[in-house]
């Protein structure tokens, strides 16, 4: 026992990695040995880091990806069937471990002002699919797959899929994907509009960063306002929406970034936006 004196307490490995460079925050699901299956600690870390990125003025775009050969295969069924983890009898029956949906990753993702890009490596299934769909854009590697296998496991898309898919695909096509529990290849995902583009696996991270950098080079206040307005437009009529757009426009034309955008255009040079 004396040998343990003075030793630092054992640290839990980070199940979500976080890195910021050049205005882009990269969040990496980090359970590659379990194909990034979702655990309780991963959920908490993901929400915390998404909120951190959204609040950081140095971050203009967020990339969400996975370590290893999969993006995320959903809830950890091994832990659940062994009586621990999300979805186990203990987690369902014990209020102390129930998730607070107000701070769960799907809710946090939806409410974020910073643009989000899913760099989808390998499979996204179940909760992983809903998380990928919760991002604003999806860039897929050629080996990527979207598996809506919920009904094959006796559940529903529990983290936003029933809300997102009909809006992305229309009712009939969303019904087909959800009711059959179908797995879509990267090419099928691109054809349906669930992926923005498909690239060779080896080029996925570089391509996601290139798109993120292209976004980050724009006026961040304008980009974030545009995202907020798009989100508001999902639930309001046209007349109300254009009123909200005009109010946002009035705020933006008072910013330094607006003046920089106009000046740089006239001077035929790249803009240097500061987010002010």
Enter the tokens of residue 112: 């974020």
Residue 271 lies in a domain: no
Residue 273 lies in a domain: no
Task: Convert the pLDDT of each residue in 121-173 to its tens digit.
Answer: 999 998 999 999 999 999 999 999 999 888 777 777 777 888 999 999 999 99
pLDDT at 184 over 90: yes
The total of other beta-carbon atoms located within 10 Å of residue 262's CB is 12
CA–CA dist 189, 94 (Å, integer)? 38
- State the pLDDT at residue 76: 75
The residue ranking higher by pLDDT, 268 or 101, is 268
Residue 235 lies in a domain: yes
Contacting residues for 216 by C-beta, under 8 A, at least 6 apart: 22, 23, 24, 60, 61
Residue 75 lies in a domain: yes
Among candidates 167, 175, 177, 172, which has minimal Cα distance to 230? 167
Same domain as 255, residue 212: no
Residue 274 lies in a domain: no
Q: What are phi and psi of 270, to 5 degrees?
A: -65, 140
Task: Convert the pLDDT of each residue in 190-243 to its tens digit.
Answer: 999 999 999 999 999 999 999 999 999 999 999 999 999 999 999 999 999 999
| Average pLDDT value for the chain | 88
- Give residue 244's domain range: 220-266
Contacts 24+ apart (CB under 8 A), 98-105: 99/43, 103/47, 103/51, 104/43, 104/47, 104/159, 105/43, 105/46, 105/47, 105/50, 105/131, 105/134, 105/159
With contact defined as beta carbons under 8 Å apart, do 98 and 91 qualify?
yes
Same domain as 209, residue 150: yes
This prediction has a pTM of: 0.86
Residue with tokens 């946090």: 108
* DSSP summary character for residue 200: -
Same domain as 242, residue 171: no
Same domain as 146, residue 30: yes
Same domain as 158, residue 117: yes
Kind of pairing, strands 145-147 and 183-185?
Answer: antiparallel
Residue 49 lies in a domain: yes
Enter the tokens of residue 6: 């003075």
Residue 272 lies in a domain: no
Residue 276 lies in a domain: no
Number of domains in the chain: 2
**Residue 98: pLDDT band with limits 50, 70, 90:** low
Enter the tokens of residue 30: 């980090």
With contact defined as beta carbons under 8 Å apart, do 166 and 174 qualify?
yes
pLDDT at 244 over 90: yes
């Amino acid at each position: 026992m004396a040998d343990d004196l003075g030793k630092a307490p054992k640290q839990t490995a980070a199940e979500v990695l976080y890195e910021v460079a050049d205005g882009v925050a990269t969040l990496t699901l980090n359970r590659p040995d379990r194909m990034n299956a979702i655990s309780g600690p991963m959920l908490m870390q993901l929400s915390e880091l998404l909120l951190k990125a959204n609040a950081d003025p140095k971050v203009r775009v967020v990339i969400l990806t996975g370590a290893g050969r999969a993006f995320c295969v959903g809830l950890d069924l091994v832990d659940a069937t062994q009586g621990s983890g999300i979805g186990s009898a203990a987690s369902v029956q014990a209020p102390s471990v129930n998730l607070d949906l107000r701070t769960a990753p799907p809710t946090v993702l939806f409410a974020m002002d910073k643009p989000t890009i899913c760099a989808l490596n390998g499979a996204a299934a179940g909760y992983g699919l809903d998380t990928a769909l919760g991002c604003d854009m999806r860039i897929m590697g050629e080996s990527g797959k979207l598996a809506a296998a919920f009904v094959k496991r006796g559940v529903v898309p529990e983290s936003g899929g029933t809300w997102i898919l009909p809006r992305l695909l229309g009712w009939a096509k969303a019904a087909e994907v959800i009711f059959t529990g179908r797995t879509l290849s990267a090419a099928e995902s691109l054809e349906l509009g669930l992926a923005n583009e498909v690239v060779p696996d080896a080029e996925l991270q570089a391509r996601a960063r290139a798109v993120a950098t292209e976004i980050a080079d724009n006026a961040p206040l304008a980009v974030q306002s545009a995202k907020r307005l798009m989100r508001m437009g999902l639930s309001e009529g046209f007349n109300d929406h254009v009123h909200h757009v005009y109010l946002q426009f009035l705020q933006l034309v008072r910013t330094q970034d607006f003046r920089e955008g106009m000046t740089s255009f006239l001077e035929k040079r790249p803009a240097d936006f500061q987010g002010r």
